[in-house]
Amino acid sequence: MTSFFAPAFIAVFVGCGVAVLAFVPFVAVSFRRRGGMTFWRTVSWFAAAIYAMALWTYTLVPFPQPSEVECSPLQLRPFQFVDDILGFDTSSISALMSNPAVLQATLNVVLFAPLGWFIRQLAGRGVVIATISGLVVSGFIEFTQLSGIWGVYECAYRVFDVDDLMMNTLGALLGSLAALLFVRRGKDGPDASVPRPVTATRRFIGIVCDIVISWVGSWFVIIGTLFFTMFRGDGEIAEPGDAVMNIAFLLPFLAQLVSVLSGGVTLGERLVLIGSAQTHLPVAISRPLRFLFGIGGYMLLTQWPFPGSGLILTMLIVTTFIMVFTTRSHRGLACAVARVEIVDTRAERRDAQAARRR
């Protein structure tokens, strides 16, 4: 793998991991601050996560071995890149396009242009904030290089260049200006307190959140246990035993069970502001059914497989997704079996407030 594509691969891989870990908090914040999620805003945040990793990989990676570090000098003369450009062939456009100094300056601008774009699109800030952000982020990266990653290395393993600081800041400025052509900067966002319909997309997001919670919750327990045993012991990572795997399953399982039994909805549904309005069966019957034909059944079948469990799990998943798009109010399989109606929790609060006024 070339030195150019290796940082890109790392950025995409790590960025996707960060996006998965941040998905549940992102959904919770989006529904409470903006009332919901939009496709393009979600894609933009996903791209921003990958871009943040790209800034790190292209400016700091690869990390040299401490014994192989050669101390790099400081370049503190502004506009030194102009002399560097003139030191190569500048007799034609094609020569300039292949000029290493031109390419270096251009890449520094291009690397930070998305930062200015994201500052306007996602944070709703203008040119001044984008430019200052570019200066601050670039300065942090340059001083990280200068300090040998804050003392990890004895000296700087990359050149501290004031021209890089200038070109990076210019890139953030140009990215913000370019966003002016495509992104409207509104002062007032959508009213998150207004009730909205329970759509199939919203139900799907809630289901994905439930699955992510079960996976990520289990992996947090496993990884936390591995680190604990590594630091407590001789530094070697031991394979997790059956007890750790059982705990990793039980914690998210019990959290979902308590959520359904206490409120009639899963954790993922709480995140997307879905509530249980009423049931046509006694609560003591409907809520266990709601759990077993939903996230509870999914988790049990994945944890303790038996002959034919794969087919049952497949049927459960397929039927659930089909019924989310076809049942009344997009209730899905679990709600249909438990005969539970679901609503927007904001509508519940509004109706409760109206009842109190009467």
Give this prediction's pTM: 0.82
Per-residue pLDDT of the chain (358 residues; tens, 9 = 90+): 455 677 778 888 888 888 888 999 999 999 999 889 988 889 999 999 999 998 988 888 778 887 788 888 888 899 999 999 999 988 888 888 889 999 999 999 999 999 999 999 998 889 999 999 999 999 999 999 888 888 888 888 888 899 999 999 999 999 999 998 887 655 556 677 888 889 999 999 999 999 999 999 888 888 887 777 766 655 555 666 778 888 899 999 999 999 999 999 999 999 999 998 777 889 999 999 999 999 999 999 998 888 888 999 999 999 999 999 998 889 899 999 999 888 898 876 766 666 566 6
Element (H, E) at 120: helix 100-121
CA separation, residue 243 to residues 12, 151, 238, 250, 324 (Å): 34, 40, 13, 10, 36
Residues 6+ apart with CB under 8 A from 52: 15, 18
Domain boundaries, the chain: 1-62, 66-185, 200-357
Cα four-point dihedral sign 134, 136, 139, 145: negative
Strand ranges (E), the chain: 74-75, 160-161, 274-279, 340-344
Displacement of CA 314 from its chain's centroid (Å): 28
Residues 6+ apart with CB under 8 A from 84: 101, 104
Element (H, E) at 38: none
Displacement of CA 335 from its chain's centroid (Å): 29
Q: What distance in Å separates the CA atoms of residue 156 and residue 144, rounded to the nearest whole number?
A: 8
